Amino acid sequence: MSAEFIESHDQTVTDPHIGASTQPTEMTLNVPMETGDTCQRWSVGRVPPMAVAFPRDEREAADVMVAAAAAGLRVAPAGAGTWLATRAARPVDLVISTERMAQVTSYEPADLTLTAGAGLTLASLARTTVPKRQFLALDPPGAGTLGGLVSTASSGPLRALYGTPRDHVLGATLVTGDGRILELGGQVVKNVAGFDLIKLIVGGWGVFGLITSVTVRLYPIPASDRTLVFRGERESILDLSQKVMAAPLVPAALELVDQVESDGKGTTFIAIRLLGSELTTRAAAEVFERAAGRPADERLSGTDSSAMASVVRRTGAIGQVTVRVAGKPGKAPDFLREVAARLPSHTAAAHLADGVVRVGWDVGDARQELAALQDLVDSFHARMTVLTGPMAWTAGPRGRSPGLQRILDGLKAEFDPGTILWPGRFAGEGR
C-alpha cells in the first residue's frame, strides 16, 4: 500500500515497472480524490476504502488504474456506489468512481442512439430523451448510473418485451486492470464489431475493468400505457399466473408480486403492462382477461399505469439481503411457493415471461438462509446472484461447466493481469 497514493489530489507514485529505465519512474496524477471520513459512503461491506478517485475521463481513469496496479492496491470500479455495499469477498483499498464522467457526448434521435459517460444517472438520461419522445427501455430497481446498469446487467419488468441490457448496449469504453483503454462495439444499431466483448462486460460486475462510457439504443415512447392488475389469495394468484403465461401475446411486462409478512399475512398480485397504440393495448387487455378467465381487479392507464410499474419495479429489491434467480419461466410460481416455505417474511417479484425472480428479506442467519436458498435454486436448475448480503458470501460458479469457468478465468487474467479488481470474486459471477 502506497501512502503517497492517497494523501493528496496531486500526488506522486513511484512505479518501478513503468518506462524502459531500470530506475524507478515517477508518475504524477492530477485526479480528484477523497480520503478519510468522506470515504465512508463508499464502503465495501461496512469497511470504507482508503481512497476514492474521481477521474474526469478515461485517460485519467487509466492513469489511476496503472498507479493502483503498481502499488498493489485492491480496486473496486463504481458509479454512484449503489452496489458497493456487499459486492466483494473482502474489503478494497481504492474505489474508482465514474461520477465525474456523466456527460452525454452524442445523441442522435433519428438513429435512436445515445452515447454518454458511465456516470450519467438514468434520471438524467431520461431528461435528455423524453423531450424527443424516446426512452431507454430498461427499468431496473433503484436509481443508479448507466455504467452501473451495464456492469450489473440490471433490468426490470420491461425485459418481457424489450429484453435485457445485452440487447440495448451497442458500444462501450473499458479501462482494464492494467490501464488499457478499449473501445468496444460501435455507435450504430447494426454495428456488431466487438459484440462478444460487449456481452462479456455487460453483467461482468467490474471484474474485467471500469466502464467509462456507454452507447445504447433507444425506443419511441408508446402512445398508450395500460396495466391490468389481478389480486386474490396467494394460491389462486399463483394458479392464475399459469393461465396468463399461456396467453398468445407478449406484454411489455408480466409480473407476479408476492409480499409475505412474518405473521403470514401479505399481498400477492399479477400486474400485466401493455404498451403500444390505443387500439393494440385495448385489444391486448381483452386477450389477457380471457386467458385469466375473469376481469382484472384494476384497469390502470396513463400515469396510474406508470405509477404501478414503479411499485412493481421496487418490489423484490427490499431487504438487507436481495438475490436475483434466473430459471425456467414456467417454474417461477412453484419456486415462489418453495421460497415462502423457507423465508416466512420476504418480498419477491417474478418476471413471469422469462423466469427471473428477485427476492429480498431482512437477515436472520443470512449465511444459513442463503445456503438454503442456493440449495433450492440448484434443485430448480437455476442460477442465483447475490445482489446485497453478507460480504463474505459468494455463491460460487455452481452449475457452470469447468470448461466455461476456465475460459472466464482466462479472460479475467487477460483484462486484469494483476488481479487488482474486486479481490476474492470469480470471473462471470453475475452470469
Burial 182-196 (b: 16+ CB within 10 A, else e): bebbbbeeeeeebbe
78-124 per-position pLDDT tens digit: 998 877 765 555 789 999 999 999 999 999 999 999 999 999 999 99
Check residue 363 and give its pLDDT: 72
Contact by Cβ (8 Å): 239, 249: no
- The β-bridge relationship of strands 94-97 and 75-78 is parallel
Q: Choose the weakest-confidence range: 56-60, 97-101, 183-187, 242-246.
A: 183-187
Alpha carbon distance 230, 252 (integer Å): 16
DSSP string for 285-301: HHHHHHHHTS--SEEEE
pLDDT for 398: 52
All residues at 6 or more sequence positions from 195 whose CB lies less than 8 Å from its CB, including other chains: 185
pLDDT band at 24 (very low <50, low <70, confident <90, very high): very low
**What class is the 224-388 domain?**
alpha beta
Q: What is the pLDDT of residue 315?
A: 84
For residue 374, CA distances in Å to 208, 343, 369, 378, 379 come to 26, 13, 9, 6, 9
Give the pLDDT confidence score for residue 410 in this predicted structure: 86
Confidence band (pLDDT; 50, 70, 90) for 47? confident
Least reliable range by pLDDT among 249-253, 316-320, 420-424: 316-320
pLDDT of residue 210: 97
- The CATH class, in words, for 104-220 is alpha beta
Query: In the chain, what are the domain boundaries?
Result: 104-220, 224-388
What single DSSP character describes residue 177? T
297/232 Cα distance (integer angstroms): 9
Quick check: 348 pLDDT over 70?
Answer: yes
pLDDT tens for each residue of 383-415: 888 877 765 555 444 555 677 778 888 888 899
Three-state DSSP class for residue 377: helix
Report CA dihedral (28, 33, 37, 39) to the nearest 10 degrees: -120
Q: Give the cell for residue 274.
A: 401493455
Listed as own residue / partner, the contacts of 416-420 with beta carbons closer than 8 Å and 24 or more positions apart are 416/176, 416/177, 416/178, 416/207, 416/208, 416/209, 417/177, 417/178, 418/69, 418/72, 418/177, 418/178, 419/177, 420/65, 420/68, 420/69, 420/72, 420/73, 420/74, 420/75, 420/177
Question: What are the CA-CA distances from residue 17 to residues 25, 31, 70 (Å)?
Answer: 8, 21, 7
Q: Among residues of the chain, what percentage have pLDDT more than 70? A: 83
pLDDT tens for each residue of 303-328? 999 999 999 988 877 777 888 899 99
The pLDDT > 90 percentage for the chain reads 58
Q: How far apart are CA 20 and CA 15, in angstroms?
A: 12
More confident position, 190 or 211: 211
Q: How far is the C-alpha of 41 from the C-alpha of 95, rounded, in Å?
A: 11
With a cut of 50, say whether residue 297 has pLDDT above it: yes
Assess whether pLDDT exceeds 60 at residue 185.
yes
pLDDT band (50, 70, 90) for residue 345: confident
State the alpha helices, DSSP H only, in 110-158.
Answer: 122-129, 146-152
User: How many whole angstroms from its chain centre is CA 401?
Assistant: 24
pTM over 0.95: no
Asked if residues 103 and 406 have their Cβ atoms less than 8 Å apart, the reply is: no
The CA distance from 395 to 383, in Å, is: 9
Helix (H), strand (E) at residue 64 = helix 58-71
pLDDT at residue 428, rounded to an integer: 52
